[in-house]
Amino acid sequence: MDAPRVFVSHASEDKARFVMSFAEQLRSNGIDAWVDTWEIKVGDSLVKKIFDEGLGAARAVIIVLSRNSVHKPWVREELDHAVVSKISEGTRIIPLVLDDCEVPQALKATKWVSFKDESAYDASFDEIVATIFGASDKPPLGKPPVYVSAFGAGVTSHNNIDSLVTRLACEAALESGSSLVGADAFKKNGEFVIPEPQLRDSLEYLNEYGAINWQQSLSGSLSGVSVSVSGFELYAREHVPGYSEITRSVISLIVNTDARSNNVLREKQNAPSFLIDHIIRTLECSGSIRVIWFLAGNCQIDHVSASLRRSLS
């Protein structure tokens, strides 16, 4: 890997007291520090050397800010070039604050490295070296939790965890034929698919949202968790294959035949019992039909609205 070149912009008054020893230390750490004293020889073009070989080839520009430098026209001209370079080419600007001085306006939105405290010199120097080489103390990425792989397609208006909780509850309801799903809906091999604190938070939110009904006991048991009509409707529209066609077929059976009970509709439609019951409840909630429900879960449709009849025309 080529040594990164770094242009050190400074006032000549700061050379002896700081800049030269600092630049030497940069070079001893594998950084090609560009300082005019080393690079510009007798007869060289100052403009070509500084702006083409120095600033133009630099990966980063270290600007030594001190009481000596902040008002120097030459440093300000280098700073202007550096700012333009940062915008157009991505050169990193590293303000190094040596004294209590006014930081130029162009650098006030940039993170500074302070060298005002001599006792903290090593830490400040290491920060600059790490910045130039792109080193980071950010921990490496680990593997995501197992349950993240189960997110898949979401449910409209829900985040990933809420979508997964809704989907697990609705799938359990479809399989069991009952809206009451309890804690087992969210377990696999006896363990919760989602960490229990996140699961409970999601269920509480979904209960407030109306997608889940949770009749909480004093013990906080999840046995009272069930799927609401609106919650399953959101799920079904996105995850039940052919849901809109099944719904229209059920409506057609209700309007055009003598199918007036969920038992008959289940037989004729050949669809999961929970799905048929859900469509009936959805039509009931919209006022399209009037239904009498019995304790065993069976129902009888005793009125079909004119609007439902017309919906098929």
What is the pLDDT at residue 168? Answer: 92
State the total domains in the chain: 3
Residues 69 and 88 both lie in one domain = yes
Cβ neighbour number for residue 207 with a 10 Å cutoff: 17
141 occurs within a structural domain:
no
Is residue 138 in a domain?
no
**Per-residue pLDDT at 252 exceeds 50:** yes
> Does residue 176 register a pLDDT over 80?
yes
* Domain annotation covers residue 123: yes
Residue at 123: amino acid letter: A
80 and 156 co-located in one domain: no
Residue 52 in any domain: the answer is yes
| Same-domain check for residues 18 and 124 | yes
- Binned at pLDDT 50, 70 and 90, residue 54 comes out as low
In a domain, 55, yes or no: yes
Q: Are residues 223 and 244 in the same domain?
A: no
What is the span of the domain harbouring residue 266?
A: 240-310
Give me the mean pLDDT over the 163-175 stretch: 91
Give residue-wise pLDDT tens across range 122-132.
999 998 888 88
DSSP state of 99: S
Picking from 180, 207, 236, the residue at the C-terminal end of a domain is 236
Question: 223 and 253: one domain?
Answer: no
Determine, yes or no, domain membership for 187: yes
Q: Which residues pair with 291 in a beta bridge?
A: 301
- Contacts of the segment 111-117: beta carbons below 8 A, 24+ positions apart: 112/65, 115/18
Q: Is residue 27 part of a domain?
A: yes
Domain annotation covers residue 140: no
Final residue of a structural domain among 107, 133, 159: 133
Poorest-pLDDT segment among 55-69, 147-161, 231-245, 254-268: 147-161
CATH of the domain at 56: 3.40.50.10140
How sure is the predictor about 288, in pLDDT bands with cuts at 50, 70 and 90?
A: very high
Q: How confident is the model at residue 81 (pLDDT cuts 50, 70, 90)?
A: low
CA atoms lying within 13 Å on the CB side of residue 180: 5
Q: Are residues 189 and 303 located together in one domain of the fold?
A: no
Q: Residue 117 above 70 pLDDT?
A: yes
Is-contact 93 63, C-beta < 8 A? yes
* CA–CA dist 33, 312 (Å, integer): 80
| 118 and 10 part of one domain | yes
Residue 134 pLDDT exceeds 90? no
Domain boundary among 236, 254, 282: 236
Confidence of residue 43 (pLDDT cuts 50, 70, 90): very low
Could you give the angle at which helices 160-176 and 196-209 cross, rounded to 10 degrees? 80
> CA dihedral in degrees (61, 67, 71, 76; nearest 10)?
0
Phi, psi of 289 (to 5 degrees): -140, 165
Strands 225-227 and 5-9: unpaired
User: Residues 153, 199: one domain?
Assistant: yes
